Amino acid sequence: MHRLTLLVALFLASLGTCADEVQVAVAANFTAPMQKIAAGFEKDTGHKAALSFGATGKFYAQIVNGAPFEVFLAADDENPARLEKEGHAVAGSRFTYAIGKLVLWSADPDRVDAKGDVLKTGSFKHIALANPKTAPYGAAAIEAMTKLGVLARLEPLFVQGENISQAHQFISTGAAELGFVALSQVFKEGKVTGGSMWAVPASLHQPILQDAVLLAKGKDKAAPAALLTYLKGENARAIIRSYGYELR
């Protein structure tokens, strides 16, 4: 009996030594789904994912300057591609884990109409968006407003967040009456979680292809490789879909 107990203890100890932690830089729009995915990842593999959330452009700069991230989940495909080209990421490891959707959203259920005409005819003092220089969703918002012909009129009303999470916070707290956010921030299990929303047509901006990539610091490590594999699995993909993202 004692021998069996010892064997079980040794087996469990060996599992512990195999488990590891992966440092992950995650685009702010993907906060909620990634938190759920990380919990499932730990349960299913034993590995832990230490998550940091922020603007894609800022993460790029941090990674280039030696930040200890091992996996990068960006809000675009350009920054991961640059990291690959520059040798900061493992060549051939990049893939699109989600396709994002831009929405115009207000915490006021009567503010945003189904066609987005509020941008042309509505009366408001502030409109929030993420910094277009560092956040792909902010850049997409600028592109959409340009194509709609409203950028010049709305630009003086901008309240810029450091990332998409801060832009959402400005709107949800009333600092801005409406603004551009990711669908995933206001959508769960097939429905909008509150307020009013207009889904910006994909024809008004470049596709928001969100790429994942294995960074140089994660090369030949079990946990980073396991996380990227897990992201491609059906459990993770089901969570991603539930937040309104499209998949390839």
Whether 132 and 51 share a structural domain: no
**172 found inside a domain:** yes
| pLDDT at 189 (0 to 100) | 76
**248 found inside a domain:** no
Whether 94 and 117 share a structural domain: no
Q: In what order do the strands lie in the sheet with 21-27?
A: 48-54, 21-27, 71-73, 208-214, 95-100
**86 found inside a domain:** yes
**189 found inside a domain:** yes
d(CA 124, CA 118): 9
Average pLDDT over every residue of 179-204 = 93
Whether 89 and 116 share a structural domain: no
**247 found inside a domain:** no
Three-state secondary-structure class, residue 159:
strand
Whether 66 and 128 share a structural domain: no
Buried b vs exposed e over 169-202: b needs ≥16 C-beta within 10 Å? bbbbeeebbbbbbbbbbbbeeeebeebbbbbbee
Whether 25 and 67 share a structural domain: yes
**236 found inside a domain:** yes
Whether 58 and 23 share a structural domain: yes
Per-residue pLDDT band at 18 (split at 50, 70, 90): low
The answer to whether 60 and 77 are in contact (CB under 8 A) is: no
| pLDDT at 172 (0 to 100) | 96
| pLDDT at 13 (0 to 100) | 41
Residue 232, pLDDT above cutoff 90: yes
CATH code of residue 82: 3.40.190.10
Tokens matching residue 62: 């941090």
Whether 127 and 161 share a structural domain: yes
Instruction: Return the amino acid letter for 230.
Output: Y
Within 8 A by CB and 6+ apart from 169, the residues are 161, 175
Q: Which residue has the higher pLDDT, 18 or 161?
A: 161
Helix ranges (H only) for 46-194 are 56-64, 78-85, 118-121, 136-148, 151-154, 164-172
Per-residue pLDDT band at 1 (split at 50, 70, 90): very low
Average pLDDT over every residue of 92-119 = 97
Whether 41 and 8 share a structural domain: yes
Average pLDDT over every residue of 96-112 = 97
Per DSSP, the residues of 219-242 read: TT-HHHHHHHHHHTSHHHHHHHHH
Residue 248, pLDDT above cutoff 70: yes
Per-residue pLDDT band at 53 (split at 50, 70, 90): very high
pTM score: 0.89
Whether 117 and 93 share a structural domain: no
Whether 175 and 89 share a structural domain: no
Whether 106 and 178 share a structural domain: yes
**173 found inside a domain:** yes
Domain that holds residue 89: 2-99+207-242
Number of domains in the chain: 2
**114 found inside a domain:** yes
Three-state secondary-structure class, residue 119:
helix
| pLDDT at 139 (0 to 100) | 97
Instruction: Look over the chain and give the mean of its residue pLDDT values, rounded to a whole number.
Output: 93
Percentage of residues in the chain having pLDDT higher than 90: 89
Find the angle CA(39)-CA(41)-CA(42) to the nearest 5 degrees. 70
Per-residue pLDDT band at 155 (split at 50, 70, 90): very high
pLDDT in tens, 54-100: 999 999 999 999 999 999 999 999 999 999 999 999 999 999 999 99
